[in-house]
Amino acid sequence: MKVLMINGSPHPKGCIATALAIAGEEFAAAGVEYEIVQVGNKDVRGCIACGSCAKTGKCVFDDIVNECAPKLAEADGLIIGSPVYYGGPNGTVLSFMQRLFYSTTADLRMKVGASIVSCRRGGNSATFEALNQFFGISGMPTVPSTYWNDVHGFSADDVYADEEGVQTVRNLARNMVFMMRSIADGAEAYGIPERNKEIFTNFIR
């Protein structure tokens, strides 16, 4: 089992890094491998809808998106972390996620996904929902916890003072381990559900 965790914050030792490290403690205790990739301080441009990835199997912009694509393919679970910027995820992590999910050729079905959000006061729910949108459309079960996965604070030390937030992250990681193992057992016993032929329609025809 392996979990890929994306730090979408520009601060490699900030609140999101702290929350991911807490999740990592739980993965390590369960014998699950994990990797944290720092994305938020990288130069990541948005998708330009060129369609090149459909032909080459990778994004036309050869940056950290293409570096992470094979890591996502190998992972059993994905956690994406972002601070709140004006009531939503920051632009860098959104550009990263949109390009990664659109350009990847990996079969993401039944990989499990979760998001963790950091905010000083508000905007956490909208950010949480925006990040979770990537999972359902990709056939990825979203991992639950005992509350929405957000931690509050202005500095990394503040995160530990948010005891309920820390508890939520720990429970999230434990649930993720359970789901990954259960899905692996189910896939071995029953196989992955067959996917219907894809139909592409527009609202106006």
Is 76:27 a contact under the CB 8 Å cutoff? no
pLDDT tens across 127-163, in order?
999 999 999 999 999 999 999 999 999 999 999 999 9
pLDDT tens across 68-84, in order?
999 999 999 999 999 99
pLDDT at 125 > cutoff 80: yes
- Spatial separation of the C-alpha atoms in residues 83 and 25, rounded to whole Å: 21
Q: Is the pTM here over 0.85, yes or no?
A: yes
- Residue 48 tokens read as 């330009």
* DSSP string of 108-146, one letter each residue: -TT-EEEEEEEESSS-HHHHHHHHHHHHHTTTPPBPP-S
Check residues 205 and 177 and name the one with the higher pLDDT: 177
- 202: confidence class by pLDDT, cuts 50, 70, 90: confident
- 201: confidence class by pLDDT, cuts 50, 70, 90: confident
- 205: confidence class by pLDDT, cuts 50, 70, 90: low
pLDDT tens across 31-52, in order?
999 999 999 999 999 999 999 9
Reference 23, options 152, 130, 135, 149; nearest CA is 149
Domains for the chain: give ranges and CATH numbers.
2-190 (3.40.50.360)
pLDDT tens across 94-113, in order?
999 999 999 999 999 999 99
Helix axes 15-29, 163-190, angle to 10 degrees: 50
